[in-house]
Amino acid sequence: MTILLITHLLLIATLTGMSFANFMNVRFARGQTGDAAMALQGLRRLMGMFGDMIVAGVWVTGLSLVWMRVSEGGGDFNAAFHVKMAFVILLTACHFMGRRTGGQIARTGDYEAYLHRLELWLAGMWLAASIAIILAVLAFG
């Protein structure tokens, strides 16, 4: 249980930091052209692919923690936990919308059309992750 919780928290720390770093990337990328724009796009794509694995890992460790709590008779989750789960779903949706928008940029090369939308998804992901952390501490702390 302790190792699982540590893994859960490490994945969450990585996910939250990466969403903020990608947000900074997009802010910097706006107005860039040529090689600079392509390098920033490449970095975003790489972090997006790692993001897929990290989001999956957060779900696997989170659901495993729920399963362990329930099997130990602690399945009475409070309201803060349920609201946390709503933000986790929002975070996951923002991630996949961000990946989709990143794919549209890669296909069209049209940074102007899509970067502002990507910025929105990344800001949403970081905000949802931050609120989920606060709610998790309120639920279990």
DSSP3 helix / strand / coil % (the chain, rounded to 5): 90, 0, 10
Nearest to residue 16, comparing CAs of 113, 125, 101?
125
Candidates 32-40, 44-52, 108-116, 128-136: pick the segment binding ligand HEM (CB under 6 A). Answer: 128-136
Q: Which residue from 24, 36, 46, 63 is in contact with ligand HEM, where contact means CB under 6 A?
A: 63
Regarding 117 and contact with ligand HEM (CB under 6 A), the answer is: no
Shortest CB 8 distance to ligand HEM, Å: 6
Q: CA 101, CA 53: separation in Å to the nearest integer? A: 18
Shortest CB 138 distance to ligand HEM, Å: 8
**Contact at 8 Å (CB) between 51 and 18?**
yes
Burial string for 13-51 (b: 16+ CB within 10 Å, else e) reads ebbbebbbebbebbeebeeeeeeebeebbeebeebbeeb
Candidates 20-28, 56-64, 95-103, 109-117: pick the segment binding ligand HEM (CB under 6 A). Answer: 56-64
Regarding 20 and contact with ligand HEM (CB under 6 A), the answer is: no
Nearer to ligand HEM, 89 or 113 (CB): 89
Candidates 5-13, 29-37, 41-49, 101-109: pick the segment binding ligand HEM (CB under 6 A). Answer: 5-13
